[in-house]
Amino acid sequence: MSVPQFSSSEPTPKLGAALRQRHVTMIALGGIIGAGLFVGSSATLATVGPAACVSYLVAGIVVLMVMRMLGEMALAVPGVGSFTEYARIGLGNWAGFTNGWLYWYFWVIVVAVEAVAGAAILQRWIPAPVWMIGLVLLSLMTLINLLSVKSYGEFEFWFASIKVAAIIVFIAIGAAYLFGFSPTGSAAANLIDHHGFMPFGAMSIFAAVPTVIFAVGGAEIATIAAAESDDPAKSVAAMTRSVILRVITFYVGSMFLIACIVPWSSIVTGHSPFVAALETMRIPGAADIMNAIVLVAVLSALNSGLYVSSRILFRLAERGDAPKSLLKLTQNKVPRLAVLLSSVVGYVAIVAAIVSPQGVFLFLVNASGAVMLFVYLVTALAQIRIRRRIEASDPQKLTLRMWMFPWLSYAVVAAIVGVLAAMGADPALRPQLMASAASLALASIAYLLTAKRQALPQTGYSSATGYLSPIGQQAVEGRK
């Protein structure tokens, strides 16, 4: 059956292809290893105990499954440009619109949060107000993103390299300490001392997953960066096959070592458990070393946050879901207005963090709390539908397949729904779920208003025919 191709009166500007395989690989690694690991893990260890490493393993497996789904779709339906567009192809315009805008909102809030966190760290060495340092950091990262995608890729490559090296060195030192240099019988015993391996019971492991999954999320950035690489298919395949497994190893391995080295009951929320472990092992200058690494993690998050939010805006504009002016590119193929708009929202959020930290800023942060879970859930549902249609029309396109389809895909959907339910049952996390639900409702209303104002063409798979619609067909054929 022949399907007419999508056409436009004006050709859509195309982003560059300056990123290399090494950039995309390190972007995937760096997207997950952030301040949430180096500092945020203290809350999980303090509330779950040594079993926190199991919480990280469970959350990591969920993210791994989602990345496998993305890998399958990226190779079977190439040329989409942003992973949020698979929701549009699989489930229609509403899903693509809301997924794109929610993902953009999540990252601009991350930009603000990381800028404030980086400013607080730099205050140890620079006597200046937090807001001033935060604005300077955001301005520097904005400038880097405005230069070219290659400048973003190079900075992120080195930022991620430092983070990965720090984790590897920590694991090596921690393992050496446990297997030969620790006081006899004192370190590994921390796993079972102080009320046992699961001091708060088995359910605490799963109760912590909603918090942990936000820390291990971010690898999907690589699917967006791959669109600007010299070999998108190869980049995405490499990311989904090995990178995520390495990150899970880094997270679970480091958490396990910390639980062995430091009594969990002595870990203080908000203080890096890595610093506590290094001080226990009597590593000189542990606090300054870790603060420097956390600062690198913060800069990396700022850099990636501005990059991914600007590219999401570009793709939304490409589909008519954002102003067409955001499609304008510089000579270096950078969507300048999209970068600037994302940074402006970051500036506003930083000001809110200073002026109203427990009011406006807290609401903005809470409103992004469950957004990634919504995005992952819609992505998983889209994968199920796209996979079934491709199997019915051209199964040879499935060069990379989701394991044990469809049962494992259903399990991922059930797991994400379960995490959302756990958030609703937890009084501490319920405000995040409700505020994030408000964000989803607002995005849905915006879609209805946009669709009413302009007759948007239907996209995605036709439930009646089982064939791709014009934009989906174009994506499948790689936009040649």
Q: What is the mean pLDDT of the chain?
A: 80
- C-alpha to C-alpha distance for 379 and 384, rounded to whole angstroms: 9
Would 458 be classed as within a structural domain?
A: no
Instruction: Report whether 338 contacts 314 (CB < 8 A).
Output: yes
The closest alpha carbon to 115, from 132, 93, 95, 91, belongs to 132
Per DSSP, the three-state class of 468 is strand
pLDDT band at 461; cut points 50, 70, 90: very low
pLDDT in tens, 15-63: 767 777 777 777 777 767 777 778 778 888 888 888 888 888 888 888 8
Would 126 be classed as within a structural domain?
A: yes
| Integer CA distances (angstroms), 98 to 53, 91, 442, in order | 33, 11, 9
pLDDT band at 81; cut points 50, 70, 90: confident
Q: Which domain covers residue 50, as residue numbers?
A: 21-453
pLDDT in tens, 367-419: 777 888 899 999 999 999 999 999 999 888 888 889 999 999 999 999 999 88
Would 76 be classed as within a structural domain?
A: yes
Is the pLDDT at 441 greater than 90? The verdict is yes
Beta carbons within 8 Å of 437's beta carbon, 6+ residues apart: 370
Least confident range from 85-94, 102-111, 452-461: namely 452-461
Output the six-digit token pair for 248: 């899970």
Output the six-digit token pair for 417: 């729904």
Q: What is the pLDDT of residue 99?
A: 93
The closest alpha carbon to 273, from 53, 31, 37, belongs to 37
Say which CATH number the domain at 401 has. 1.20.1740.10
Mean pLDDT of all residues in 78-86 = 82
Q: What is the pLDDT of residue 1?
A: 29
- C-alpha to C-alpha distance for 379 and 74, rounded to whole angstroms: 12
For 461, phi then psi, to 5°, come to -85, 140
pLDDT in tens, 194-206: 777 888 887 888 8
Would 325 be classed as within a structural domain?
A: yes
453 CB-contact burial (10 Å; exposed 0-12 / middle 13-18 / buried 19+): exposed
Output the six-digit token pair for 348: 């506003």
Would 85 be classed as within a structural domain?
A: yes
**DSSP character string of 5-55:** PP--SSPPP-----B-HHHHHHHHHHHHSSHHHHTTHHHHHHHHGGGHHHH
Choice between 332 and 217, residue whose per-residue pLDDT is larger: 332
Is the pLDDT at 329 greater than 80? The verdict is yes
Would 478 be classed as within a structural domain?
A: no
**DSSP character string of 246-300:** HHHHHHHHHHHHHHHHS-GGG--TTS-HHHHHHHHTT-TTHHHHHHHHHHHHHHH
Cβ-based neighbour number of residue 395 at 10 Å:
11
Is the pLDDT at 183 greater than 60? The verdict is no
- C-alpha to C-alpha distance for 186 and 257, rounded to whole angstroms: 13
- C-alpha to C-alpha distance for 161 and 367, rounded to whole angstroms: 31
Mean pLDDT of all residues in 354-362 = 75
- C-alpha to C-alpha distance for 275 and 105, rounded to whole angstroms: 32
359 CB-contact burial (10 Å; exposed 0-12 / middle 13-18 / buried 19+): exposed
Of 172-176, 351-355, 403-407, 432-436, give the range with the top mean pLDDT: 403-407
- C-alpha to C-alpha distance for 21 and 238, rounded to whole angstroms: 9
- C-alpha to C-alpha distance for 314 and 326, rounded to whole angstroms: 6
- C-alpha to C-alpha distance for 18 and 386, rounded to whole angstroms: 30
- C-alpha to C-alpha distance for 374 and 106, rounded to whole angstroms: 11
Mean pLDDT of all residues in 351-355 = 80
**DSSP character string of 389-456:** HHHHH-GGG-SS--TTTTHHHHHHHHHHHHHHHHHHH-TTTHHHHHHHHHHHHHHHHHHHHHHHHS-P
Least confident range from 3-7, 125-129, 234-238, 452-456: namely 3-7
Q: What is the pLDDT of residue 114?
A: 80
Instruction: Report whether 338 contacts 313 (CB < 8 A).
Output: yes
Would 318 be classed as within a structural domain?
A: yes
Q: What is the pLDDT of residue 88?
A: 93
pLDDT in tens, 226-244: 667 666 666 666 666 666 6
**Inter-helix orientation angle 130-147/149-176, to 10°:** 120
Return the half-sphere exposure (C-beta side, CA atoms, 13 A cut-off) of residue 445.
6
The β-bridge partners of 461 are: 468
- C-alpha to C-alpha distance for 113 and 107, rounded to whole angstroms: 10
- C-alpha to C-alpha distance for 242 and 233, rounded to whole angstroms: 14
- Angle at CA 234, nearest 5°, toward 228 and 238? 110
Domain count, the chain: 1
Would 326 be classed as within a structural domain?
A: yes
pLDDT in tens, 124-140: 788 888 888 888 888 99
Round the CA-based radius of gyration of the chain to a whole number and report it: 22
Distance of CA 211 to the CA centre of its chain: 13
pLDDT band at 465; cut points 50, 70, 90: very low
